[in-house]
Amino acid sequence: MTTIRKAVIPAAGLGTRFLPATKAQPKEMLPIIDTPTIQYVVQEAVDSGIDDILIISGKGKRAIEDHFDRNYELEARLEEKEDTALYNEMRRLADMANIHFIRQKEINGLGDAICYARHHVGNEPFAVLLGDTIIDSVIPVTQQLMDIYAQYRATVVAVEEVPRDKVSRYGIVGGKNLSDRIMELNDLVEKPAVDKAPSNLAIAGRYILTPQIFQCIEQTAKGKNNEVQLTDALLLLLKRENVLSYAIEGKRYDIGNKLDFLKTTVEFALRRPEFSVPFLQFLRETVAAHPTSVNNEQASINNGE
């Protein structure tokens, strides 16, 4: 039985939406409280049973590599302070997976970035997890996709429902339903106009791809933003073999979006025992201190804006 043994995490984007914070640090290293975004992504792969991980990085992304490397001086200092919990966490971080790195030489899009994984994954299916997207779920979403692949032996694209008026922000899929959550695709469109979207199912930043995707990427011309779009390569792939979508069980957090980044930080803080009570009290006091903005927001809701 074929299993998914390798994961690829593209993390080469410039992160322009978070400038100036991302001028000298990768957006994937932006922390949700005290944990960098990409650490959550790597943990999802590990929790799915994958410990061979390739991170596609780029210029100015050395901090990602350093984060998953040993820091002997820091470990020694923590040992001296007898901070056992932090010492163990630093060791666990360095040993959590076999993580490899390769640089995307030019920012040419997600499709181009994935092509850099060709020699690493060889002729076998592999998982792709976007480095700026956290998905909170009981069963890791990558594991969910692996289970679907085991059943159908086909490329699987994670999707989630989005409001119809927001489909132009995402890659959108269309096709024939095989079950409540599984669809056999016949269309993929990158950021379509509302009236051109084949559904309201948006690609959610997780994939199981067959190695045939590499040939399709090579044959894909540059599309939106003058970049090689993975969505366009998948459109070519589905003309050659079955491509499925799976509506994930979990909540996606797009850390590449400032508002979602703020919301994620709040939600994750409220889950932490040491923060939940005082932080919730702070939020209540903050909202109460801004009645004008709250009233304006309620008025907008009432007016259907």
pLDDT digit string, tens, across residues 218-229: 999 877 777 788
Cβ count within 10 A of residue 269:
18
DSSP 169: G
* Residue 88 domain boundaries: 6-257
DSSP 50: -
Is residue 76 in a domain? yes
The rounded radius of gyration (Å) of the Cα atoms in the chain is 21
Is residue 277 in a domain? no
First to last CA, the chain: 52
Helix axis angle, 37-47 to 141-152, nearest 10°: 40
Chain centroid to CA 199: 21
Distance CA 88, CA 183 (A): 43
Is residue 282 in a domain? no
Query: Quick one: what percent of the chain has pLDDT higher than 70?
Result: 94
What pLDDT score was predicted for residue 303? 44
Is residue 204 in a domain? yes
More confident residue, 296 or 284: 284
**What total number of domains does the chain contain?**
1
Is the pLDDT score of 119 beyond 80? yes
Query: Quick one: what percent of the chain has pLDDT higher than 90?
Result: 57
Residue range 47-63: average pLDDT? 90
What pLDDT score was predicted for residue 135? 94
Distance CA 82, CA 126 (A): 41
CATH of the domain at 52: 3.90.550.10
| Residue 218 one-letter amino acid | E
Is residue 150 in a domain? yes
CA dihedral 168, 140, 206, 115 (to 10 degrees): 160
Tell me the pTM: 0.89
Is residue 173 in a domain? yes
Structure tokens, 63? 């901090």
Is residue 294 in a domain? no
What burial letters (b/e) apply to 188-216, b meaning 16+ CB within 10 Å? bbbbbeeeebbbbbbbbbbbbbbebbbeb
Given a contact cutoff of 8 angstroms between Cβ atoms, the answer to whether 266 and 152 are in contact is: no
Given a contact cutoff of 8 angstroms between Cβ atoms, the answer to whether 246 and 144 are in contact is: yes
Is residue 60 in a domain? yes
Cα three-residue angle 52-159-18, rounded to 5 degrees: 75
